[in-house]
Structure formats: C-alpha cells, structure tokens
Amino acid sequence: MKLEDLKIIVTGGAQGMGRTFALELAEAGASVVIADVNEAGLAETLEASKGKRGKVFAKKTNVAEESEIAALVEFSHKELGGLNGLINNAGILRDGLLVRKDKETGAIKKLTKEQWDAVIGVNLTGASLMVRDVVAKMVETGSKPGVIVNMSSVARHGNRGQSNYTAAKAALAANTVTWAREFGPYGIRVGAVAPGMVETPMTQGMNQKARDALVAAIPVGRIGLPEDLWLAVKFVLECDYFNGRTIDVDGGLSM
C-alpha cells in the first residue's frame, strides 16, 4: 500500500516508537489516529504533527478495556473517513523473575498475578482485541486492501525476568501467522516487527547496570532508535507481498 492511502490507527502513540510511527506516516500523507492512556503525550504528538501532509487525530484509550477499543475504532472510522490499517504498538513492562530467592533473607519471591495480568491485558489481550475490532470494521465496510502491523519483540524467544512479556510477544508473533491466514480472503495482510532494545521511555526506566550490559551485547554497538524500527514498519506497510512473517530488528542481539 502507498503510505498516503492509509487511514490507520497507531496505539501507544503518545511517545517512543508510536510517536515516531505516527509522525512519519503523517509526513508521508497518511491519515492517522493515535491512541494512548497518556493524554499529555498525545497532545505533544498532535503538536508535533502540525504542518505535515497528513491529518492526525487523538483519542485517549486504554487497550486493556474492551469498550474503549470499540469506541476507538468507531471514532477512527468516522474521523478518517474509513479505516484500512493498524499499528498494534501499545505495550507495558512489569518485569520480574517468576521465582527468586532473596539473597539476604532466603525468602522466596514470586512474580505476582497482578504483574502477569497487567502485561497480558495490554500486550496480548488488548492487542488481539484491537486486531479483532479493526478487522471487523474493515470487513463490515468492505475496506480493502488492509494491513496490520503487530509490534512483537525479540524477547519472544525467551528472556530472563520477562515471563509475562515473553508470553505476550511470542503469542503476537504466532498469531501474526494465524491472522494472515484468516484475513487473507478479505484482502488484509498481517505482519510483525520485533524490536530488540530501543531507546524509548520504557527502556529508559530499566536498571542501569542491566541496560549497560544489554547494550554491550549488541553487535552493532549501540541501542536502537525508533527511526530504525520505522524502516521495518514502513516495509511491512508498503510491500504487498509481505504477509504472516515477523522481522527482527535488534542490531544482531538475538543471533
């Protein structure tokens, strides 16, 4: 698809990769709705979009809430005059070892169900319901071709301290194949992009020692930038023969 023909939702559009994706799309002439729980961040993205070729709209949305997803899709279809794309980018971290023994007290600590549910609720259930409702609207209105980009992660291969995140991102990559097969008859492609470590507000909150060790292990010698990931997302959006696959963009970290 041509970027200028897109009428697309970008979740997690208040900051980080989502903001970059939205602004790049607007620069190319696409019509975009950004969604996030961070109202201040949404306003900043809207301000940054002024003067670009495409139109950008914003709607506060918690993708862990089914009713808010439904409202977002209806809002987007109305404001954009249709809907033919989704960048499924919203995500959170609640890291922790599944089980660990405290070095000082010997007490056994477990990942809490609240930590598990929070990540699964946003990163998997919310992401899946976003796909469901966007595709349902496309099919209902006969909008095709259409394209979905799921943001997975190289953590889907397994990563210490991220059982919840790994489970969600692995499921998204697997369902990229499932959904490509299901939605093909409707003219809708589904692809995924799996970032490694990227400079975003989420990774900036990491433990500094762990962050430094991870960056040191990246063969290209630096942390990724949201602009690096945009190049992969752009490819998925534009290449009409790309479908049902996940592209790792990690600087060689997962080799």
pLDDT, tens digit (0-9, with 9 covering 90-100), for 105-144:
999 999 999 999 999 999 999 999 999 999 999 999 999 9
For the segment 135-181, what is each residue's pLDDT rounded down to a tens digit?
A: 999 999 999 999 999 999 999 999 999 999 999 999 999 999 999 99
Sorted by where each starts, the structural domains of the chain and their CATH numbers stand as 3-249 (3.40.50.720)
pLDDT, the chain, mean: 95
pLDDT at 255: 54
Q: Point out the residues that are catalytic.
A: 165
Pairing of strands 85-88, 146-151: parallel
d(Cα 113, Cα 116) in Å, to the nearest integer? 5
pLDDT attached to residue 180 = 98
Among the ranges given (4-13, 68-77, 82-91, 201-210), the one the predictor scored with the smallest mean pLDDT: 201-210
CA 9: distance to chain centroid?
11
Q: Residue 231: pLDDT band by 50, 70, 90 thresholds?
A: very high
- Residues pairing with 150 in the sheet: 88, 192
- In degrees and rounded to multiples of 5, residue 11 shows phi and psi of -85, 155
Q: What is the reported pTM?
A: 0.94
> What average pLDDT does this structure show over 17-24?
98
d(CA 109, CA 170): 25
Per-residue pLDDT averaged across 187-211, rounded? 87
What sign does the CA torsion over 176, 197, 159, 255 have? Answer: positive
